[in-house]
Structure 1
Amino acid sequence: MSNPLFQSYQISLQIMKERATSFYEAFSLLPEDRFRGVAALYAFCRTVDDLVDFQEQTTKDNIYASLEELKQDLEDKNPASKHSWWPAFLDTIERFNIPDEPFLEQIQGQLMDLDFKPFQNTNDFIGYCQLVAGSVGKMMAPLLASEENPQLLQACEDLGVAMQITNILRDIGEDYQGRDRLYLPFDLLEKAKLNPLDLQLFFSDSPSTEFIELWEDLAKLADTYYSSIQSVLPYFRGDSQLPVLCAALSYQKIADVIRDHDYDCFTQRCYTTTEQRKACVIKAQNILKGSL
């Protein structure tokens, strides 16, 4: 591996290590070449996400232009892209024959955040999750399996959706107050007899019973998407099964941490501890032993 390419992979790994601890730790269990590949894909997604999430630092026109430039670099496989992680990204998608589709879906989903409109129903909410996170599962599938399989590809997309729902449940306050976005679908708010203004109260008071019921409805929805991964584990490479299962269990654990903090996802961001993530590795190992 040439030195510039090696440096590009190192930059990608550092981005993932700093910005996605659970993700980094889970997929560090992969063989090194595919772990580096995951990091390169993550760097692409992180860049697209940050362009939109930090939009107050520039204009919308500049963000649209940056996303269009990134899209063009992808379609042209431009070797001279300005991003330091790009050589690693280009090397990864070429070596593992990853199509453009999931990356274009990622950009499409992030554009929904740029001109954010609340979701009127759960179907729209899931559609958004499929674009911004299901796409991540789809782009990673070629690194995790040696053969194409529709069930495996669907399970990878489902795992991405589940993780995104978990992220949304964790970051409700941060998104609502810091970014003026409320991802909770309106049909579930109506079912819980809540309106968006009610959520302002939970920055100073404990979340209400109605909010907790809504939160748990979405947590159960996430669990249905998490559950699809175990049935297709045999389709993954043998050395990919543990990392994938660890990623699923580690993210699922975030919901338990939020429960332990009395559903306060308004004034803090809840994290799993190193010990909890290690316990997820042991649990995943035991599940895999039981499936042999």
Structure 2
Amino acid sequence: MDTERMQADFAYCEAIIKKHSKSFYYAFSQLPVEKANAVYAIYAFCRTADDCADSSQPHLEKLASLHRLKKELDLFREHAEVDHPLWRALRQVFTKYDMDIQPFYDQLTGQWMDMNFAIPKTLYELESYSYYVAGSVGLMLLPVLASKASVDLRPSAIHLGTAMQITNILRDIGEDFHTKQRIYLPEEEMERFRYTPEDLRHGFINENFVHLWERLAKHAESLYDLFNSSIVLYDDDSKMPLLLSIGVYRGILDAVRSNNYDCFTKRNFVTKENMIKISSAVYNCS
């Protein structure tokens, strides 16, 4: 492939991550160009899959879109991919890095689970769902970010993706309920803390809600800590972007706390001021 076309393909993928995830783009644009491009291509695939599940199309049309994407992935696996910037960029990634295609299929399974949504009964079920939609992304990125690792880092990559997904869920509780009619909080945990779907519908932020929210937040934070314990095994040029992304996501949890746990009427995000503080802390520790 000629260099100009390859650059255009990765630019196509970069535009997608830049539009849809400024925090990820901010963190991973710090990578060397070749690795950053690989992350952009992987993100573009995941975003394409996510759009199948989250579009405003009727259910059957969304299923058809996901089925088409799965067929395109099948073709890619057979080295007969569709002539499209996404697939051309991913081919470059698979050529350069020791990629495993199974997490890409797992991501599609996660989107299917989203389209056929069922409230998780237990924390284990929430973690299982979180693996498919986000832990799988950690596995996709692993060969890029830990290209020289001599030990199996797959558990740590799954821990990071799962923690980020739980963080997203805790940030978007109100939006998920009112916009998508979904409750990702495990039924068992809601019962344990005596917080009901009716409470959720009314947006009650009481002591029960805070304890429930913190139970899941502490679990996510423990997963971040588990990942951090293995970060020394990742490539030197990947450590800072990873630490930045973790800092931003942990910052989301702190933003919710600062807003008195209002996940219903406020958009919780890391402010520019706090982003600078997180960046400074990461750079000073590196």
Q: Same fold (TM over 0.5)?
A: yes
The equivalent of 1:61 in structure 2 is: 60
The equivalent of 1:116 in structure 2 is: 117
How far does the alpha carbon of each residue in 1:226-268 deviate from its partner, in whole angstroms, 9 at most, with x for none?
Answer: 0012221221111111111111111101011111111111123
Contact 2:52 2:63 in 1 (8 A): no
Give distance in 2, aligned partners of 1:40 and 1:245: 21
Deviation at 1:160, TM superposition (A): 0.5
Give distance in 2, aligned partners of 1:41 and 1:236: 18
Of stretches 68-77 and 247-256 in structure 1, the one that deviates more from structure 2 is: 68-77
Deviation at 1:2, TM superposition (A): 3.1
Deviation at 1:58, TM superposition (A): 2.1
The answer to whether structure 1 residue 265 and structure 2 residue 263 are counterparts is: yes
Contact 1:53 1:179 in 2 (8 A): no
The equivalent of 2:282 in structure 1 is: 284
Contact 1:8 1:88 in 2 (8 A): yes
Give distance in 1, aligned partners of 2:63 and 2:148: 36
2:216 to 215, 218, 232: 218
Give distance in 2, aligned partners of 1:147 and 1:153: 14
The equivalent of 1:160 in structure 2 is: 161
Give distance in 1, aligned partners of 2:169 and 2:57: 24
The answer to whether structure 1 residue 92 and structure 2 residue 90 are counterparts is: no
Normalising by structure 1, report the TM-score: 0.92
Match of 1:75, SS state, is helix
Normalising by structure 2, report the TM-score: 0.93
How far does the alpha carbon of each residue in 1:29-57 deviate from its partner, in whole angstroms, 9 at most, with x for none?
Answer: 11011111101100111111111111xx3
How far does the alpha carbon of each residue in 1:267-291 deviate from its partner, in whole angstroms, 9 at most, with x for none?
Answer: 2321112222222122223333xxx
Match of 1:81, SS state, is coil
Match of 1:97, SS state, is coil
| 1:128/1:286 CA distance change after superposition, 3 Å | same
The equivalent of 1:73 in structure 2 is: 72
Contact 2:10 2:85 in 1 (8 A): no
Contact 2:173 2:183 in 1 (8 A): yes
Deviation at 1:75, TM superposition (A): 2.4
Structure 1 residue ranges (4+ consecutive) displaced by more than 6 angstroms after TM superposition: none
Match of 2:118, SS state, is coil
The amino acid across from 1:63 in the alignment is K
User: Where do residues 183-222 of structure 1 align in structure 2 (5 Å cutoff)?
Assistant: 183-202=184-203, 207-222=205-220
Contact 1:155 1:232 in 2 (8 A): yes
Match of 1:263, SS state, is coil
Give distance in 1, aligned partners of 2:190 and 2:81: 47
Give distance in 1, aligned partners of 2:52 and 2:91: 20
The equivalent of 1:140 in structure 2 is: 141
How far does the alpha carbon of each residue in 1:58-106 deviate from its partner, in whole angstroms, 9 at most, with x for none?
Answer: 2322222222222222222165537543321222123213111111111
- Structure 2 residue runs of 5 or longer lacking an equivalent are none
| 1:75/1:207 CA distance change after superposition, 3 Å | same
For this pair of structures, how many residues does the alignment match?
Answer: 283
The answer to whether structure 1 residue 230 and structure 2 residue 231 are counterparts is: no
Give distance in 2, aligned partners of 1:82 and 1:172: 39
- Structure 1 residue runs of 5 or longer lacking an equivalent are none
Give distance in 2, aligned partners of 1:148 and 1:107: 27
Match of 2:194, SS state, is coil
The equivalent of 1:49 in structure 2 is: 50
Give distance in 2, aligned partners of 1:176 and 1:189: 14
Give distance in 1, aligned partners of 2:150 and 2:189: 34
Match of 2:239, SS state, is helix
Contact 2:73 2:81 in 1 (8 A): no
Match of 2:153, SS state, is helix
The equivalent of 1:179 in structure 2 is: 180
